[in-house]
Amino acid sequence: MANKIETVQALVLNTQPAFEAVLCDKSIMFQREAEFAMQIMQANDYLIDCAVKNPQSAIDAVTNIAGIGISLNPAKKHAYLVPRKGKICLDISYMGLMDLAIQSGSIRWAQAVLVHATDRFSVVGVDKPPVHERDPFAKDRGDIIGVYVVAKTADGDYLTETMTRDEIDGIMNRSESVKAGKTTPWKTDYGEMAKKTVVKRAQKYWPKTERLEKAVHYMDTDGGEGIVLNPEVKQLTSEQMDEVLARVAAFTDAEALASYWPELVAYLRDTASMSQYEHIKQAVADKGAALKNHTEGAAA
């Protein structure tokens, strides 16, 4: 085993030129990340074996740390090295994804939270965070029934994405490892995988940045993590767009429009492109502001 560790250590250290060539965040230092990588692999004999048998996967995993701009620092819990199908892969956590979005300027902050059966949860409108009431000291809050992530953009808007337990399990059941009956993070860390799934889906509606897109693309391809969202590119027809915008324009009450927003988001999630979503979201925000101003003016 000692010889294997020395071999892998030399392999990791030799990635320095490639690491520094693609480094996108100067706060990430090669020496520290190399040390973190070796600590992770030395704690797992199977990882060492994977690195010896498939050295290119180890090289790629370490290099991707620099290319994506994320750290293996165990205190941060942003990224890990994991074995998948005989390869070493860089695994990015939901906290790592949110941190990338924050550091790259896509959003100000975000929080992913599980919802249990005894909780009270509601989405209250397009421009407000959700309401989630629960007893943090309860010994039993019931089964997990859903998950959500709320993010605040640089413009001060709140973006909320929700997923039901059935939707989460639908994604889980697409995993090849789950299908094969293997022990996977879905079995050992279901809550963390649920949060990761909703963050991956939510980021499609966050302002785009190159680092965030690069991270998600890696997770969907070389990362092989087993979270497969709908890969098809959706697009509303011009008639469908006109119909949605006409319905938004027809509202005469701001609260009714806010109540309609979650239903509209659920529809757009599976049918609209990102640009169409942004266009409709702006139309809803403008209409809501106009209705509120009209109501306040009438009251005055």
Higher-pLDDT residue of 178 and 63 is 63
DSSP H or E segment with residue 220: helix 210-220
Encoded tokens for 118: 């005894």
Sequence ranges of the domains in the chain: 2-92, 95-220, 238-299
Residue 197 has pLDDT above 50, yes or no: yes
Encoded tokens for 164: 């039901």
3-state secondary structure of 80: strand
pLDDT band for position 126 (cuts 50, 70, 90): confident
pLDDT band for position 14 (cuts 50, 70, 90): very high
3-state secondary structure of 115: strand
- Round to whole Å and give the CA distance between 223 and 221: 6
pLDDT score at 49: 92
Per the prediction, the chain carries an average pLDDT of 87
Residue 231 has pLDDT above 50, yes or no: no
**C-alpha triplet 28, 100, 169: angle, nearest 5°:** 130
Per-residue pLDDT tens for 272-288?
775 677 688 888 888 88
Encoded tokens for 167: 């939707």
Alpha-carbon distances of 100 from 71, 119, 205, 230, 275, rounded to whole Å: 10, 30, 15, 22, 22
- Round to whole Å and give the CA distance between 168 and 176: 15
Residue 178 CB neighbour total at 10 angstroms: 18
pLDDT band for position 204 (cuts 50, 70, 90): confident
pLDDT score at 228: 47
Residue 147 sits at φ, ψ, to 5 deg, of -150, 150
For the segment 76-101, the average pLDDT, to the nearest whole number, is 92
pTM for the complete prediction? 0.72
For the segment 128-153, the average pLDDT, to the nearest whole number, is 94
pLDDT band for position 1 (cuts 50, 70, 90): low
Encoded tokens for 172: 């889980």
Residue 203 has pLDDT above 80, yes or no: yes
